[in-house]
Structure 1
Amino acid sequence: MDVIELLESASLLVPEETATVNDLTVRDVWDHLVHDEWEIALSLLEGLGDARPLPPVFWEKLAEAADRLRLERSAAWCHWRCSELRHGVIRADLTLRSGHGVRRTTPLPGAGVLRPMWDIGHVSPSGGRAVSIAALWVEGLPVLEPGGRATIRLVPLTPSHWTDVQPGRRITMHEDRSVAGTAVVLQVRPPDITVSPG
């Protein structure tokens, strides 16, 4: 499939009544496809995917189109959304620590490449702290500076570890034994049980 076929195919998976917060619809996507404005069409489809849950195949087609257009962050975002469907997602407000005694002195990458450890309140069999791993995506920013604050999305490596996490819970991020940041959970969406965990 070429880019336009991928975008057309993805757009057919969006129910016609779906609209973004700006009232953009699938009809708007088709207008851009007719004029070979593929990047705009891709961006609109990503927005429509945020308006309502869509199947993994939708995100897979967008990821392939973004790869072919050499839009790395967009492709990473579409792959990320597939992971959210398969493993669940936790949105949280993260504040990174800065200053003396903090391991991270460089910006935290925002596009889902970091998989830090999280203290979400579990205790190990020996009575010590148990941590769980989750990939991290920073919403709206390419990086998060030390001392910075942003809304993040977490995809748990082992979703069953995160079943007790609820909005309002404070969790801590670790890249080593020290606390790298503190987050307050805003939203929890479990894995989509109709999607295989591929």
Structure 2
Amino acid sequence: MDVPELLESVGLLVPEATATGNDLTVRDVWDHLVHDEWDTALDLLEELGGGRSLPPAWWEAMAGAAEQLRMERSAAWCHWRCAEARNGVIRADLTLSPAGATRRTSPVPGSGVLRPMWNIGHRSPAGGPSWNIAGLWIEGRPSLEPGGRATVRLLPLTPDRWRHLEPGQQITMHEDRTVAGRATVVELRPPATASPLVR
């Protein structure tokens, strides 16, 4: 699907005939495209998709458009959202351990490239913690410094092992045996392509 087809298929934009002064229409997005403001148009569409459960195909099309525009971070974000549409959304309030408390001395990258281990309450057969891997996306910033705090999104390698989580639950992040950060789950959403998570 190319960008024009994507815009025509987006059910998030208000039809011209029923639009009020505050509604975003296909024409509004096209105005940005005509003026070579592709990044602004794509950002608007990403924002519109942010509050709704859109199917993976929509996010794949958005990622393809971003890749055509060589917008690497936007493409990565759309690929991330596509995976969330398939697996569900986990958001948490993360505070990293301060510098000196762990081996990390540099900021944690924010665009999903880090896949740390998490203690989410599972136990090994020997009784110790059984860690689970999840990618980490930091909302609203490119990175997070040691000791810093931010809202993050987690993308589990094995989503079914995370289905027991509930808002308010405490989990810990690990890059080795030491605690690299502590997080509180703030939001859980089911996959866009499936029924709500079974608790």
CA distance in structure 1 between the partners assigned to 2:180 and 2:131 by the alignment:
13
> Any conservation in 1 of the 2:54–2:192 contact (CA below 8 Å)?
no
Q: 2:109 — aligned with what?
A: 109
Gaps of 5+ in 2: none
With the length of structure 1 as denominator, give the TM-score of the two structures: 0.87
Q: 2:4 — aligned with what?
A: 8
Pairwise mapping of residues 84-163 of structure 1 onto structure 2 (< 5 A)?
84-163=84-163
> Any conservation in 2 of the 1:73–1:111 contact (CA below 8 Å)?
yes
> Any conservation in 2 of the 1:94–1:151 contact (CA below 8 Å)?
yes
Pairwise CA distance, 1:129 = 0.6
CA distance in structure 1 between the partners assigned to 2:155 and 2:101 by the alignment:
28
Q: Which whole-Å deviations, capped at 9, do the CAs of 1:64-116 have from their partners, x for residues lacking one? A: 12112111111100111001111222100000001334111110000000111
Pairwise CA distance, 1:26 = 3.6
> Any conservation in 1 of the 2:92–2:183 contact (CA below 8 Å)?
yes
SS at match of 1:111: coil
CA distance in structure 2 between the partners assigned to 1:132 and 1:151 by the alignment:
19
Q: 2:63 — aligned with what?
A: 63
Pairwise mapping of residues 21-40 of structure 1 onto structure 2 (< 5 A)?
23-40=23-40
Q: Which whole-Å deviations, capped at 9, do the CAs of 1:157-190 have from their partners, x for residues lacking one? A: 1111111101000100000100000000000113
State the percentage of identical aligned residues: 63
CA distance in structure 2 between the partners assigned to 1:107 and 1:89 by the alignment:
24
Pairwise CA distance, 1:194 = 4.5
With the length of structure 2 as denominator, give the TM-score of the two structures: 0.87
Of residues 32-41 and 95-104 in structure 1, the stretch that sits farther from structure 2 once superposed is 32-41
Query: Compared with structure 1, are the counterparts of its residues 169 and 25 closer, same or farther at alpha carbon in structure 2 (3 Å cutoff)?
Result: farther
Give the 4+ runs in structure 1 shifted more than 6 A.
none
Of residues 180-189 and 31-40 in structure 1, the stretch that sits farther from structure 2 once superposed is 31-40
Q: Pairwise CA RMSD of aligned residues?
A: 2.1
Pairwise CA distance, 1:39 = 1.7
Q: Which whole-Å deviations, capped at 9, do the CAs of 1:126-176 have from their partners, x for residues lacking one? A: 111111111100000100000000000001111111111010001000001
CA distance in structure 1 between the partners assigned to 2:69 and 2:141 by the alignment:
21
1:66 alignment partner AA: A
Alignment length (residue pairs): 189
